[in-house]
Amino acid sequence: MRYNVRTKLEYKKVELFIHSFVFCSLKIDFEFEVIKLIYGYIRVSSRDQKIDRQYEELKKLNIDDCNIFIDKESGKDFERKNYKKLIKKIKPNDLIVIKSIDRLGRNYDMIIDEWAKITKQLGAHIKVIDMPLLDTSTDNNLIGKFISDIVLQILSFVAENERINIKQRQAEGIKVAKAKGIKFGRPRVSLPQNHYEIFDGYICKDLSCEKAIELLDISRGTFFRLLKTYKRIIEY
């Protein structure tokens, strides 16, 4: 999901509305909970991507290195080695800190389910550095979770609409390309019949660069040259 200036302004409006609604309309007894242990989670999609920015943000919160878990895997699901190790360690009132919501995952429906598992089943908290509203450890437990649930539902709706628009634009681009008989690469480059789907998978971050290259059986340089051509065709 992309965050441009307009998106940030809309997010700010949502933030102001939710705070006004919660603090002016709800009567809740404040029962602050003490955070026990703070964990950090870092994820990048491939081994050649750097973790520096995420790591620096976590260290600003004085999180010990032994409590920072790092995965270099796709965010398509939660079957990640170190993420599963982290979840096994979590106890009630512990806090998981991530830099941005897409570091937890990409599919918002799955994120909502995982969020509920962590905050409700495990009784722990989550803090998203880039989105202050997504922090169940602030205010009191009930308000923090209430605000976060609303924000996640909004983000899920926006992300789903964006995903549908991208898929529609890609489908239209592929149709035009096929109608024009456009083919990728030089004569010596032979691509599988589903190469359109593979490029789509990489653009939508369902496939890592390495996996896409493996499926296409081409070099890294050729991959990015063909990807540039493909994006131009579909006007991505």
133 to each of 22, 104, 120, 152, how far by Cα in Å?
12, 16, 18, 10
Q: Which CATH architecture has domain 5-157?
A: 3-Layer(aba) Sandwich (3.40)
Q: Which residues are annotated as catalytic?
A: 45
Q: Where are the domains of the chain?
A: 5-157, 183-234
Task: Please state, in angstroms and rounded to a whole number, the distance separating the CA atoms of residues 208 and 214.
Answer: 10
pLDDT tens sequence across 138-160: 755 566 667 777 877 777 776 66
DSSP tag of 211: H
Task: Please state, in angstroms and rounded to a whole number, the distance separating the CA atoms of residues 159 and 136.
Answer: 22
**Per-residue b or e along 107-119, where b marks 16 or more CB atoms closer than 10 Å to that residue's CB:** bbebbbebbeebb
Tokens of 202: 């990489």
pLDDT tens sequence across 66-117: 999 999 988 888 999 999 999 999 999 999 999 988 888 877 778 888 988 9
DSSP tag of 134: S
- 0.85 exceeded by pTM: no
